[in-house]
Chain A
Amino acid sequence: MNLADALALPFFQRAVLAGLAIAIMSGVLGVFVVQRRLSFLGDGLAHAAFGGMGIGAFVIVTTGLIGSSVALLKHPLWIALPFSVMAALAIAALRKRTRLSSDTAIGVAFAVSVALGVMFFSLIPPDVNLGLSVMDLLFGSILGVRQSDLIVILAVAAVAVLALLAGWGRLAYATFDDELARGDGVRTEALELALFLVAAVVIAVSATVVGIVLMAAYLVIPAAGARLVARTLAQMTALSVLIGVASTLVGLGLSFYLDVPSGATIVLTQAVMFVPAAVFGARR
């Protein structure tokens, strides 16, 4: 079977579409995550999604929703999503109301979420078939994206990208210098909260489908690579999306030919693209 044959397969098409949607929204979001030194936020919120999925899985098993005929109803994402949003709000509140720095606030949410996830997954009887495993949540299975997952990812990607582009100028201004932006009437606190909420939704939805590790990579590596060669933030945003999209297509293609895990191949492809950016960027 060659790549053209693989592209005709529905599961491969879904993987490509899901990967591209995640690459585009993470590419735009990642620029602000990297420039605001919030790279750990991606990890923290992805692990918050893991905790939320644990609670969600426990709830749908104990309430009997797992037997529902509606596919979306028995998906723990509907509990993981608000859980991640609450984690984002908690991180924002910890940053604002205490003297804790971002990484410390995120570290607290990170540890508590993983503990909750492990705890609730352990309470589910082993004979229950959830349709997802802890390993899938951690390391992902982009080739296992279902039709219902794809619809959710495409819808979230459309809304997230539109929201980020609509607020791009103000977000960029506040990222450059919060005080200068506030002096010009930009509501920087509200913008940061909105950024955290968009990040929570994007990361929760993506991490539950492609895994925590791949999601964190999508959020940081393309934007970091773009930062090394871009002269302006607009260039950085475009390059970040481009690296994400290219690494998705090349990574999926390579994983097919080499018969190796797709998520890991995408991350390694991003890393390979990062190296010339680092070398070229260092020389400039």
Chain B
Amino acid sequence: MTDAAPLQQGGAVCVRLSGVTVRFGDFEVLKGVSFDLPAGASLAVVGPNGAGKSTLVKVILGLVTPLEGTVAVFGERPGTNPGRIGYVPQLKTFDRTFPATALELVATGLRREWPGRVHADEREHALVALRRVGAEQLATRPLARLSGGELQRAYLARAFVRRPELVLLDEPATGVDYLAERDIYDLLEEYQADSGAGVVMVTHDLTAARYHADRVLVLNRTARGFGLPEDVLCDECLEDAFGHKHHGHGPRV
């Protein structure tokens, strides 16, 4: 198992977790999780189902308060500066009967409330963000009619439109096909290179974690490994986290 202690990093830190423990009732979802994510770096969080990956994202967003430990995002309490964070949730969360267009969804990224009417300046910014993710043609289309990949592009545009310094993604490639998945990671890397933003993404895809992240956190309630992908995504570490061997499923490292 790789040492779970925080790596020593020089320079600014955009996310810092120290001994974070989260309990839902009697169930301990996270225990003593610690890491520092340098500003501008990307982190892939991997682990089996029920490992606490989505909970970790919610802790960083300020939606879940840890029972123990501390969390700092840009040196402040989570939830203090929602405008500096772009969040891409899991696809399942919204109600598909809700009457809305992709343009309105992207505009929530600017206004942080639902727009009764999208103003001209908001429309302009939203269209730029949609263009950036190759989805300008979806602007006036109802969300209910978008495919998984199109919807994920709309959510990415919503996250990018506010020019966030940290992008949080909860399983961004789940429910999309291979090409759309590749596009999502490319768009993310492009935004990161362009803006210098930090990225935290939860993923089941170990290959994506290997090739699209600067750091990897292997999680199964506790941090089973944190570090460079080539150091952490080893058979020993994955077997420790997933509880079984990953013959042929993991990336060649």
A contacts, CB < 8 Å to B: 35, 168-173, 175-177, 179-186, 227, 230-236
Contacts and interface: CB of A to CB of B under 8 A. Distances in A.
Contact of B97 (A35, A179, A234): A35
Given A168-B116, A170-B113, A234-B117, A180 B94 contact: yes
B99 A233 contact: yes
15 contacts: A169-B111, A169-B113, A171-B114, A172-B116, A173-B112, A173-B114, A176-B108, A180-B108, A181-B113, A183-B82, A183-B85, A184-B82, A186-B113, A227-B99, A233-B100
Nearest to A37: B95
A208 to B, nearest CB: 32
Given A179-B58, A183-B63, A233-B100, 19 more contacts: A169-B113, A169-B115, A169-B116, A172-B114, A175-B98, A176-B114, A177-B93, A180-B94, A182-B61, A182-B63, A184-B108, A184-B113, A185-B82, A185-B112, A227-B97, A232-B100, A232-B101, A233-B99, A235-B99
A176 B104 CA distance: 11
Given A183-B63, A233-B114, A177 B89 contact: yes
B94 A176 contact: yes
B226 interface: no
B87 interface: yes
Contacts of A169: 111, 113-116
Contact of B99 (A171, A183, A230): A230
A184 B99 contact: no
Interface string B67-85: 0000000000001001001
A180 B114 contact: no
Nearest to B170: A179
Contact of B142 (A179, A180, A231): A231
A28 to B, nearest CB: 12
Contacts, number: 81
Nearest to A284: B142
Contacts of B112: 173, 184-186
B82 A231 contact: no
Contacts of A177: 89, 93-95
A183 B87 contact: yes
Given A168-B116, A173-B114, A234-B116, A180 B82 contact: no
Nearest to B90: A179
Contacts of A180: 87, 89, 93-94, 108
Contact of B93 (A179, A184, A185): A179
Contacts of A231: 99, 101, 142
Contact of A35 (B93, B98, B101): B98
B63 A176 contact: no
Contacts of A176: 94-95, 98, 100, 108, 114
Contacts of B115: 169, 234
A32 to B, nearest CB: 11
A175 B99 CA distance: 11
A234 B108 CA distance: 14
A155 B164 CA distance: 44
A152 to B, nearest CB: 29
A183 B167 CA distance: 12
Contacts of B104: 232
B165 to A, nearest CB: 15
B146 to A, nearest CB: 14
Interface string B111-128: 111111100000000000
Nearest to B80: A185
Contacts of B98: 35, 175-176, 233
A30 to B, nearest CB: 14
Contacts of A182: 61, 63
Most A C-beta atoms less than 10 A away, residue of B62, B89, B98: B98
A186 B112 CA distance: 8
A183 B89 CA distance: 10
Contacts of A235: 99
Nearest to B103: A232
A184 B116 CA distance: 17
Contacts of A172: 113-114, 116
A47 to B, nearest CB: 26
Contacts of A171: 114
A169 B118 CA distance: 12
A110 B108 CA distance: 37
Most A C-beta atoms less than 10 A away, residue of B58, B85, B108: B108
Nearest to A180: B89
Nearest to B162: A184
Nearest to B105: A176
A169 B108 CA distance: 10
